[in-house]
């Protein structure tokens, strides 16, 4: 009798996914810079080798040429990480008269062969009010 041990190697066949369909974030002009607003991170059912590698933030529409927001992923110590807490950081003070609307998109991407990703649009509504929804 011969014993055979099969090892199944995971392939990158699943894109990262955001679990939430909608999150609302309301910001005042008095919100201080460096404030962080948490988002649920994306997950990927593929093995860690093909799992979520990072996030990108894209400004789709803004009347302000200098980006106000940044996407950050940090571990419990506040150190940059690919598997920690996902947050949007306010980079500087808000001014509704300068820019009352910002449209952002967060992209989660993985590291496997055949890069896969998912987008999380963040449409702006009025004076510093945004809602987050998955595609």
- pLDDT reported for residue 125: 42
Mean pLDDT for the chain?
Answer: 76
CATH of the domain at 45: 2.60.40.60
CA-wise closest residue to 128 among 104, 105, 102, 107: 102
Question: Nearest Cα to 47, choosing from 9, 86, 17, 83?
Answer: 9
Q: pLDDT confidence of 24, banded at 50, 70, 90?
A: low
**Domain-located, residue 12:** no
Query: How is the beta sheet containing 102-110 ordered, strand by strand?
Result: 52-62, 102-110, 117-122
- Residue 32's pLDDT is 92
Render pLDDT for 52-100 as a digit per residue (tens, 0 to 9).
888 888 877 666 667 788 888 876 666 666 667 888 899 988 887 877 7
Three-state DSSP state, 93: coil
Map tokens 């896969």 to a residue.
116
Does any domain span residue 6? no
Determine contact, residues 29/92, Cβ cutoff 8 Å: no
Q: Are the C-beta atoms of 102 and 124 separated by less than 8 Å?
A: yes
Quote the number of domains for the chain: 1
Q: Is residue 9 part of a domain?
A: no
In a domain, 1, yes or no: no
27: in domain: yes
Q: Which domain holds residue 97?
A: 22-133
Position 71 in a domain: yes
pTM of the model: 0.73
Question: Does residue 16 form part of some domain?
Answer: no
Q: What is the pLDDT of residue 2?
A: 94
Domain assignment present for residue 3? The answer is no
């Amino acid at each position: 009798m011969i014993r055979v041990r099969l090892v199944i190697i995971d392939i990158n066949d699943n894109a990262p996914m955001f679990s939430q369909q909608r999150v609302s974030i309301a910001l005042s002009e008095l919100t201080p810079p460096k404030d962080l607003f948490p988002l649920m991170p994306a997950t990927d059912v593929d093995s860690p080798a093909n799992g979520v590698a990072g996030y990108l933030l894209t400004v789709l529409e803004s009347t302000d040429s200098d980006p106000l927001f940044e996407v950050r992923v940090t571990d419990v110590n506040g150190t940059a990480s690919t598997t920690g807490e996902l947050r949007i950081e306010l980079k500087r003070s808000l001014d509704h008269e300068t820019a009352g609307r910002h449209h952002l998109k967060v992209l989660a991407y993985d590291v496997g062969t055949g890069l896969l990703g998912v987008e999380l649009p963040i449409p702006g509504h009025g004076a510093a009010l945004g809602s987050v929804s998955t595609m």
